[in-house]
Structure 1
Amino acid sequence: MKKLIIGAAALILSAGAFTLINTQAEAAVQTLQSLAAAKGKYFGSATDNPELSDTAYTAILGGGEFGQTTPGNAMKWDSTEPSQNSFSYTKGDAVVSFAQAHNMTVRGHTLLWHNQLPGWVSALPATQLQAAMENHIANVATHFKGKVFAWDVVNEPFNEDGTFRTSPFNNAMGSDYIAIALRAARAADPTAKLYINDYNTDGQGAKADGMYNLVKSLKAAGVPIDGVGFQGHLAIQYGFPTNMQANLQRFADLGVDVAITELDVRMVLPRDSTKDATQATYYSNVVKACVAVTRCVGITIWDYTDKYSWIPSVFSGQGAALPWDDSLVKKPTAYNAIAVALGGTAESASPTPSRSTSSSPPPAGACAATYKITGSWPGGFQGEVSVTGSKPGWTVKWAFANGQTISQLWGGTVSQSGANVTVTPASWNNTPPATFGFLASWNGTNAVPTVTCA
């Protein structure tokens, strides 16, 4: 896929977020990962290093919805070996560390791709490229040995007509470069599952046929190939891929695993209810196809939120491709379509405005605070407090009435003793107008407290 281009972005909390409630309160809280695990599969989200500094984002990424992650860029050649024989793993290690801390597995992505290559690779004489390729694979796969369960060894080797894509590797070695790369990866990490990964192979067609014939020939030649990744970058304006389930099954019948590796479903903006419904159908169809194929091991969405989607920077006027919006709020149609296709129950959504409470308007030199619940899901919710007035160094206090407990707060420092909460500002958030947000747990009732500001 294309390189993600991500700039710094401030956290934006939706003031009109819906509240999500589990329809079976007596049951254990369902997540996409728990539902997938019940089917013998995983459900994951890609991520990238810039996102890991966004605490509201990481609270969801590592909060149980996802059991697997894929680094969007941190393990690609331009990141891991920017100059020949000079290797850098800082970014990849950061993603692995996050995953390990949150009980998530990691798919390595990617050892070999025609894109995002440092200039020195393409500048090498063809006679030197195989050795450089094998050296790169050996070093990177060895570094991450035991930390990734699978590798996209070769990424996007095909043209749309099923012929092999022109690349420095194909130019130097012909299509044999694929077998050479797979053997090098197996030698470096004998236990990782080795994949070939591509887009527009999700349904039957010429490109999928090219992939099928390649995998069949590799298997016949005894080349180590354990799986095929189907990226799943879909768009509602182009129609759903042809016979996806049957296509996945024919690859599985070759004796390899299959996986949906980079799923998103884009649309021409703006969003509307009709487009959302079509998008939800696409998500449902993909998940159902994977569930129906025993050797489909899992599904990864290409980051979970529109806030960090690659789509708008590549497809002008398109976006809204993911199950969470750019305010980190679940889209009920897309999210529920995935959950139900995994065998779960739909969460009910109430499009009522956020509940809030305010303190009295402040006198000169004082402050006031407004508390809002901006999103809620089974067992947890997100809140926001806005501080107004002219008093620097404010302090906001409230008392929870229903046993709520704050787990994470940004924009300030929190202390909680029983029901009583006190928040003081971060240094950059010292003077009103100021806003801070938080994540907290709740159970049964989530009354909005009265807040004071001094």
Structure 2
Amino acid sequence: MQTVTTPVPSALAHRVVGTDVTLVGPDGRPLADQEVRVEQVRHAFGFGNIGFDLIGLANGETGRPAGAGDDDAAMHHEVGSAAPEQAEHLAELWLDVFNMATLPFYWRAFEPERGRPDTVRLRRAAQWFAERGVTVKGHPLVWHTLAPSWLLGLPTDEVERAVRDRITRDVTDMAGAVTVWDAINEVVIMPVFTAEENAVTPLAQRLGRVGIVRLAFDTARAADPSVTLLLNDFNLSPAYEQLVEECLEAGVRIDALGLQSHMHQGYWGEEKTQAVLERFARFGLPLHLTETTLVSGDLMPPEIVDLNDYQVPSWPSTPDGEARQADELVRHCTTLMAHPSVEAFTYWGISDDGAWLGAPAGLVRTDGTPKPAYDALRRLVKEDWWLAPTTVRTDDAGRVRVEGFAGTYRVEVGGRSAAFELGAQGPRAVEVSPV
């Protein structure tokens, strides 16, 4: 039996799955001694990016949405869509590498006036990605930052009802299009947050951290039992570990842990990254690196504690910075792929245009040209970690063996094709009938 295989370094061998594929004709008989073309279609591993820039394109908009130039929107990247003249080009670059999109459900921007959420526009965007084979995640359902101002002044009981109603409505409305949610964001700091007045922090104080996590997860799961729900945080200290422990002990069902890795102040390095992964892998839950950034210009000074406090009039990308960013992104992604608990990572921005904090952290320059980091990531995802189209012959039983990264593959024989999965659960024989 001939074998189609993806050569990989030993550190990534656990990502490779082998399967015997038997091809049969319309009559059910094996297609023996036939020339077969095998190719990879999609990774099972989530290579993600935010999809904010493409919301306008997905909705057929001819200009930027209202508010896209506001300081608050630019700071949090809550609204921004790419300019129409760049959107189609960005979409081509985006779809050529990524298979998982994060869309913004920041409550303040999503529902600035109570009872008038931006549901139609965000669902169209989610469907646009889903139609192109992209997994869509909503970010986030509960967060103290960017909570709507109309919650202020309401009794805490009414705030709780509004939070529950928001979760139920949005998870229900997005069912089938958004299949992953950051159920709650940055809970470690939530009860003690003082940077701005909001109505969610008092609710977290009353319910406690575990209580508000339970509220988010239980309400979302009741609305759509099929969704994958993440607990997400930037605070990767022992306090987050304690929160995870307490939630699991209390019976809260967490599907995956979200770990933010905004590296505006410099690359963590392999040793720190590995240590973080090991600390959180002990819970036996899948790990998602939910928010990754690496700048291609000057680094943010190390004395800055809250990244939002660093405001500069100009933060350009530089040739030296772009070379550094490319090298660090390859090293970071390779470290993540080498750890068996990591099942997804999301880079926080395709373009420098409107990037979070104005940092040159995107993979594409403001003029639409890819940076070296984009090219380097594409080589990893679509070349080094990808099964190139290969032609082999079936044996007397109509079989070929396929070994590659877990994901979706296609076989073609005699002008007919069929898709099959190489599953992360391990090798198993697959029978396909090309049509």
What does residue 352 of structure 2 align with?
306
Distance 2:152 2:258 in 1: 26
Distance 1:113 1:105, change over 3 A: same
Distance 1:270 1:146 in 2: 40
What does residue 402 of structure 1 align with?
none
What does residue 338 of structure 1 align with?
377
Residue from 252, 257, 270 that aligns with 1:223: 252
Distance 1:195 1:280, change over 3 A: same
Q: Which amino acid aligns with 1:250?
A: R
CA positional deviation for 1:133 = 1.4
1:43 matched to 2:57? The reply is no
Q: Is the 8 A contact 1:106 1:147 kept in 2?
A: yes
Residue from 201, 224, 232 that aligns with 1:189: 224
What does residue 294 of structure 1 align with?
340
What does residue 321 of structure 1 align with?
361
What does residue 251 of structure 1 align with?
280
Q: Is the 8 A contact 1:45 1:302 kept in 2?
A: yes
Q: SS of the counterpart of 1:191?
A: coil
Q: Is the 8 A contact 2:89 2:368 kept in 1?
A: no
What does residue 95 of structure 1 align with?
125
CA positional deviation for 1:327 = 1.6
Q: SS of the counterpart of 2:291?
A: strand
Match runs of 1:155-170 below 5 Å: 155-159=185-189, 165=193, 167-170=201-204
Q: SS of the counterpart of 1:320?
A: coil
1:66 matched to 2:94? The reply is no
Q: When you count strand as a share of all residues, which structure comes out higher?
A: 1
Distance 2:365 2:96 in 1: 18
CA positional deviation for 1:101 = 3.4
Q: SS of the counterpart of 1:186?
A: helix
Q: Which amino acid aligns with 1:66?
A: F
**Structure 2 residue ranges without an equivalent (≥5):** 1-36, 56-63, 65-80, 195-200, 299-314, 386-435
CA positional deviation for 1:192 = 0.8
Q: SS of the counterpart of 1:168?
A: helix
Distance 2:87 2:288 in 1: 25
Distance 2:267 2:285 in 1: 29
Q: Is the 8 A contact 2:270 2:332 kept in 1?
A: no
Distance 1:243 1:340, change over 3 A: farther
RMSD: 2.9
CA positional deviation for 1:169 = 2.7
Distance 1:219 1:140, change over 3 A: same
Q: Which amino acid aligns with 2:239?
A: G
Q: SS of the counterpart of 2:366?
A: coil
CA positional deviation for 1:277 = 3.0
Distance 2:112 2:207 in 1: 22
CA positional deviation for 1:123 = 2.1
**TM-score (normalizing by structure 2):** 0.61
Distance 2:216 2:150 in 1: 19
1:280 matched to 2:326? The reply is yes
Distance 2:173 2:278 in 1: 33
CA positional deviation for 1:45 = 1.9
Distance 2:326 2:235 in 1: 19
1:133 matched to 2:168? The reply is no
What does residue 17 of structure 1 align with?
none
Match runs of 1:137-156 below 5 Å: 137-156=167-186
What does residue 361 of structure 1 align with?
none
CA positional deviation for 1:138 = 0.9
Q: Is the 8 A contact 1:304 1:322 kept in 2?
A: yes
CA positional deviation for 1:173 = 2.1
CA positional deviation for 1:340 = 5.3
CA positional deviation for 1:234 = 1.0
Q: Which protein is bigger by CA-based radius of gyration?
A: 1
Q: SS of the counterpart of 2:166?
A: helix
What does residue 207 of structure 2 align with?
173
Distance 1:157 1:128 in 2: 20
CA positional deviation for 1:188 = 0.9
Q: SS of the counterpart of 2:344?
A: strand
Distance 1:109 1:146, change over 3 A: same
Percent of pairs with identical residues: 26
CA positional deviation for 1:187 = 0.8
CA positional deviation for 1:226 = 0.8
CA positional deviation for 1:89 = 0.5
Distance 1:82 1:308, change over 3 A: closer
What does residue 391 of structure 1 align with?
none
Q: Which structure carries more relative contact order (alpha carbon 8 Å, separation 6+)?
A: 2
Distance 2:85 2:353 in 1: 13
Distance 1:270 1:79, change over 3 A: closer
- State which drifts further: 226-235 or 277-286: 277-286
**TM-score (normalizing by structure 1):** 0.59
Match runs of 1:350-389 below 5 Å: none
Distance 1:226 1:89 in 2: 25
CA positional deviation for 1:228 = 1.5
Distance 1:52 1:278, change over 3 A: closer
Distance 1:55 1:64 in 2: 19
Distance 1:344 1:169, change over 3 A: farther
Distance 1:70 1:58, change over 3 A: farther
Residue from 126, 146, 153 that aligns with 1:123: 153
Q: Is the 8 A contact 1:157 1:165 kept in 2?
A: no
Distance 1:239 1:289, change over 3 A: closer
CA positional deviation for 1:297 = 1.7
CA positional deviation for 1:324 = 1.4
